[in-house]
Amino acid sequence: MTGVARVLELGGDDRYEWRERFDGSEQLVFDLSGSDRYESTSDFAGPGVTLFGTALVDDRSGDDEYVTERCFAQACALFGIGLVLDRSGDDKYSSTGPTSGFAQGVGYWGAGLLVDLSGDDRYVGEKLSQGVGGPRGFGLVLDAKGDDRYLSNGPSFASVYGTPDAFAAFSQGFGYGLRSRAAGGTGALFDLAGDDHYDAGEFAQGCGYFFALGLLHDERGSDEYVGQRYVQGASAHQAAGMLFDGAGDDRYTCRQVAFQGGAWDQSVAWLLDAAGDDRYTGFGLGQGAAAQQAIGVLVDLDGKDRYDSPDAQGQSGANEYHFERDHVLSFSVLLDRGGDDDTYSTGRANGATTVTSPVDAPATAATRSYGVCIDI
């Protein structure tokens, strides 16, 4: 596909190969039927990939495969617009290996879009995949229906914190900027129907980092979210992150800290679950928690829910980063509606409002914690 600018393929199980970057500014591929394979073996090359241009793949039917082990290789744009539109079939999108990344809906100073309209699909990545907005960019994965699986959890990229058996992800609705160099963009993952499974490492699932916005919106279905750190509606360093789940009995699990409405350093983080009997599990700075002049919010609107965490749950952390300069504190909220018999590991009461500014806090405002847990 290095030198092919236009394709109209009427049928058959076809194979498209990008062995080098496309030598042009506009590449359009229309495949009307068949179970096809789209493979890229070079950086900055592949289906819906553009550098200073426009690229489109429109696949109308079939169980298709999108495969790469290189970076910037599927539905990605740098100073342009790249789009992969797959209209039907049980499809697999794969970006794996130590040289992979920047795949499956990624934009840098441009827009990278991956749209799948139907089928039980599988998205496999390791780093910077599945809806990533880099500096001044927009990255999107939109899946309209089906029971889908999203994986971005190793093994090639180790934890940025040196955590054993954990991996960096920066994926699944992740917006980020380059600190002290460039403000971030918007990364979004929208799944509109189906019982879906999300599994990611660090910084993922509706996470924003440095003047950026990360969004994960799952409209309906009983879903499962599993992550490591800064996941499931989280943010750090002047950013915003949000996870919205519309309906279903959902499970949220974070294996480390900063999760489920957890915000750090002048940031805003939200997790909003509209309905269902849900379970939330994590290990600190989460379930409506903020620190360092941030705002963290978890709202659950209905259902019999369970919250497991050793602390937080509508309680803020320390504020020493900027307090002497700005005199601003953090604020944290956990709001559970629905009138059901909910369970809190920290002893929050059902049918009551618990203010979490402790009366025995030290006298300096920089160390006080301000927040509230409301169960109605």
Q: Over its length of 376 residues, how does the chain's per-residue pLDDT go in tens digits?
A: 999 999 999 999 999 999 999 999 999 999 999 999 999 999 999 999 999 999 999 999 999 999 999 999 999 999 999 999 999 999 999 999 999 999 999 999 999 999 999 999 999 999 999 999 999 999 999 999 999 999 999 999 999 999 999 999 999 999 999 998 999 999 999 999 999 999 999 999 999 999 999 999 999 999 999 999 999 999 999 999 999 999 999 999 999 999 999 999 999 999 999 999 999 999 989 999 999 999 999 999 999 999 999 989 999 998 889 988 988 889 999 999 987 789 999 999 999 999 987 544 555 666 666 899 999 9
- Taking the whole predicted model, whether its pTM rises above 0.85 is answered as yes
Backbone angles phi, psi at 299, to 5 degrees: -125, 125
The answer to whether 196 touches 149, Cβ cutoff 8 Å, is: yes
Distance CA 113, CA 105 (A): 5
Cα 287 from chain centre: 17
Q: Which residue has the tokens 């289906």?
A: 47
Contacts of residue 1, defined as CB under 8 A and 6 or more positions apart, other chains included, come to 16, 17, 18, 22, 27, 29, 45
* Chain position carrying tokens 């992800």: 169
Distances in whole angstroms, Cα of residue 258 to Cα of each of 133, 176, 224, 305: 21, 16, 18, 20
Q: How many residues does the chain have?
A: 376
pLDDT at position 359 is 41
Give how far Cα 68 sits from Cα of 75, 104, 144, 373, Å. Answer: 12, 11, 24, 46
In terms of Cβ atoms closer than 10 Å to its own Cβ (0-12, 13-18, 19+), residue 337 is middle
Q: 104 vs 158, 228, 344, CA distance in Å?
A: 21, 21, 37
Q: According to the model, what pLDDT value does residue 327 have?
A: 87
Cβ pair 80, 55 in contact under 8 A: yes
| DSSP string over 96-160 | -STT-EEEEEEEESSEEEEEE-SS--EEEESSSBSSEE-TT-EEEEEE-SS--EEEE--SSSB-T
Which 3 state secondary structure label does DSSP give 323?
helix
- Pairing, β 202-204 against β 168-171: parallel
3-state secondary structure of 284: coil
